[in-house]
Amino acid sequence: MALTNLQDQAARLPRKEFNFFQVERLFRAVEWIDHHAESCADCQKARGEVEALTERLVELATGPNESRLELENRVEALFEHLEKAHGLVKMQYFTSLFSLYGLASSLFLAVLAWMISDDFELALALVGLGLVIGYVWGSFRDGAVRRSNLQY
């Protein structure tokens, strides 16, 4: 019900706004909120929030910067709850996070290796290896999240 209304409203948005606000992502949020509303008081509340948001979607999305920002914040708040309480994860979240970890830890090791062995190529190879491990590990985790249908 809420989703159909939202889709109707979203269809009235100019393409540019539709893409900018990643409205398709919002459809996903509504599905999740509906899914959890029975057992989660916050999701129950969020349903009302979505309804209010749906009514003002076009107005907010095409309005001045303040209203666009308000729309963004409200959508973010919905996702923040879905992440914290229901385990939703942003697309590529682990891939970027673990790549960063891999880079940071391998840089540290590389500097150590360089100081000990004076072998710059070894140090460089270590950084590359750390990045690859972080990336692969992260993609693996993201894949698992995607398969359990928790990605948005």
Under the rule (CB under 5 A), what is the footprint of Zn ion?
A: 36, 40, 42-43, 85
CA distance 79 to 145: 16
- For the chain, the C-alpha Rg in angstroms (whole number) is 21
CA distance 135 to 133: 5
Closest CA to 78 of 35, 49, 56: 49
Q: Which is nearer to Zn ion, 40 or 125 (CB)?
A: 40
State the residue for tokens 């090791």: 109
CB of 36 to Zn ion, least distance (A): 4
